[in-house]
Amino acid sequence: MKNVLINSVAALVLAGAAFAQQSEVGRRAENQQDRIANGIATGKMTAGQAARIENQEAAVNHEIHADRKANDGKLTGAEKAQVNRQQNHMSREIYRAKH
């Protein structure tokens, strides 16, 4: 029983460390994926709406990948601001699709 508790605590600590290392851009993208999945699961979002938003998200992810590749794995301040605007737009679209 003690080993199970220790292993559980260790897993939580590692998961927390991995989450802390994830960028803000990555956390927002993951959160939006969860919101889309929730919308589909509850029937508030159609598959077509989800597909459209997923395609937009894929385009943003491609842009992020290209920007990071061009800048030694980092995003510049201007690129972060642009990604933030795009994620804000997708967030509003998710909200509208679900309501």
Is residue 12 situated within a structural domain? no
Q: Give one word for 74, left, alpha or beta, with left for phi > 0 and alpha for psi -120 to 50.
A: beta
Does a structural domain hold residue 41?
Answer: yes
Q: What is the mean pLDDT of the chain?
A: 82
> Does 70 fall in a domain?
yes
So what's the pLDDT on residue 13?
47
The structural domain count of the chain equals 1
- The verdict on residue 8 lying in a domain is no
Nearest to 85 by CA among 56, 51, 55, 49: 56
Per-residue pLDDT at 82 exceeds 90: yes
Neighbours of 53 (CB within 10 A): 21
Range of the domain at 47: 24-98
Above 50 in pLDDT, residue 99? yes
Model's pTM, two decimal places?
0.69
